[in-house]
Amino acid sequence: MTRLAHDIATLAWAALGGDPRALASLDFATEGGLASTFAVSDLASASIGVAALAVAECAAAGADRLPRVQVDRRLASFWFGLSIRPLDFALEAPWDPIAGDYPTRDGWIRLHTNAPHHRRAAERVLGAQADRASMATAVARWEKSALESAIVAENGCAAEMRSIAEWSDHVQGAAVAREPLVHAELTMAGANTRPTVSPTRPLAGIRVLDLTRVLAGPVASRFLAGFGADVLRIDPPDWDEASIAPEVTLGKRCARLDLKTAGGRATFDALLRDADVLLHGYRADALAQLGYDAAARQRLRPGLVDVCLDAYGWSGPWRNRRGFDSLVQMSSGIADAGMRWRNADKPVPLPVQALDHATGYFIAAAAARGLAAQRESGRGTRARLSLARTAALLIRQGTGHESPPFEKESERDRAPDIETTSWGRAQRVRTPASIDGAPMQWDRPACALGSAEPKWS
């Protein structure tokens, strides 16, 4: 059953430019899978595996042999859901009350309204709605393509449900299919300020400036923090994601900056000059509009490892479109295939937000491989990934991958340490990956957004 995980890891490692011989150091353990017609648990295992393998390269620091990397398929699948287990607090509801799937006159559409400005965009088209029932009445009057276009034109987030074949024939689906899983290129050289590698904490001293939000980018920086990276997350003054912050801020410090002010830009410039890695997940043109295009970022920090993601890919007419995992699942045919597999009367998404999580681990792998290149040549790296391209990787594996269910989670699946978060005490599911001699562990508990100052520790 783990053979498919090896196959996906091989594809991803090649896309990352890795030496195929390194894959001999990667093993997968345990059997079973999440309930899906898609190979979700194989994708989970493979993406975490290549991220850990890239960190193992950093730990080896040019040695002939890499440390052994092992990924537990069951734990990897759990981490693709939620890793945190609150002890004396409750997580907030993850979805806005009117977010979700709705029938239209000719099919289905998903509205993503978690952010207040995205809900307002949908309601400018459909009218203010108090609950799902009234929203359903408003949506039912529309054809799905027309409603998707109208909400997107208002800078909102929506996706009609397409089949895999329809997405393949769509101009954006075809554009994504032509893209590599990872766009990566070396950039200009800079001062090599990377600290001496510690085999037990391979990323200790590495400064990661994290501009990402829900969900792929925060997964990536959480992973890097687990091997010692100093992660500073930056959010705008008015942004919050209370439902997911306890899950993804583990190991980080979180600050706020307004990049539209002179003071905020000056602080950001100083932070970027001292960063080793920059992660960002804005739409393709967003940082450029603020004056921080790729060339400007490299001028500020020559040799930077610059890794970015978007929803719908880096080419085609949708390259600047807002999107999220659940929307890409609708657009790309995943939800439709799930509906047909389940013989259901409504869209059936993946059991977890696998596109977000897998892309996050691929981002972490790209960052770690960029650090290795920086060490060897002094040159920086620019890498770009997308949720839609990760979806294409999953779809490529086909359907019909039902597996025996995993054994139910028990107390022995939890790490013994108690984490004192900003919200209360919690435990985590045991880590899904192990690197010989370099345990995955975090130096800071999860914290609220904006709880730290925008400066390096």
Give me the half-sphere count of Cα atoms (radius 13 Å) on the Cβ side of residue 311.
23
Residues 6 or more apart whose CB falls under 8 angstroms from that of 442 comprise 222, 225, 226, 250, 251
Residue predicted with more confidence, 326 or 65: 326
User: Which pLDDT belongs to residue 377?
Assistant: 85
**pTM of the shown model:** 0.97
Percent of the chain with pLDDT over 70: 98
| Average pLDDT for 265-294 | 90
User: Which pLDDT belongs to residue 194?
Assistant: 60
pLDDT tens digits, residue range 400-426?
Answer: 998 899 999 999 999 999 999 999 999
Alpha carbons 176 and 168: distance in angstroms, whole number: 9
| Average pLDDT for 304-312 | 96
User: Which pLDDT belongs to residue 447?
Assistant: 98
How would DSSP label each residue in 48-107?
A: HHHHHHHHHHHHHTT-SSPPPEEEEHHHHHHHTT--EEESSS-PPPSS-TT-EEEE-SSS
Fold classified for 3-92+177-313+351-435: Rossmann fold (3.40.50)
Closest residue by Cα to residue 160 from 106, 121, 114, 113: 106
| pLDDT at residue 376 is higher than 90 | no
User: Which pLDDT belongs to residue 375?
Assistant: 86
Paired tokens of 236 = 């705008």
Paired tokens of 145 = 């393509």
Give me the half-sphere count of Cα atoms (radius 13 Å) on the Cβ side of residue 111.
31
Q: Where are the alpha helices (DSSP H) in 226-261?
A: 245-248
pLDDT tens digits, residue range 351-374?
Answer: 999 999 999 999 999 999 999 988
Give me the half-sphere count of Cα atoms (radius 13 Å) on the Cβ side of residue 395.
26
User: Which pLDDT belongs to residue 14?
Assistant: 98
**Residue listed under structure tokens 């990276």:** 229
pLDDT tens digits, residue range 199-217?
Answer: 899 999 999 999 999 899 9
Give the start-to-end residue ranges of the domains of the chain.
3-92+177-313+351-435
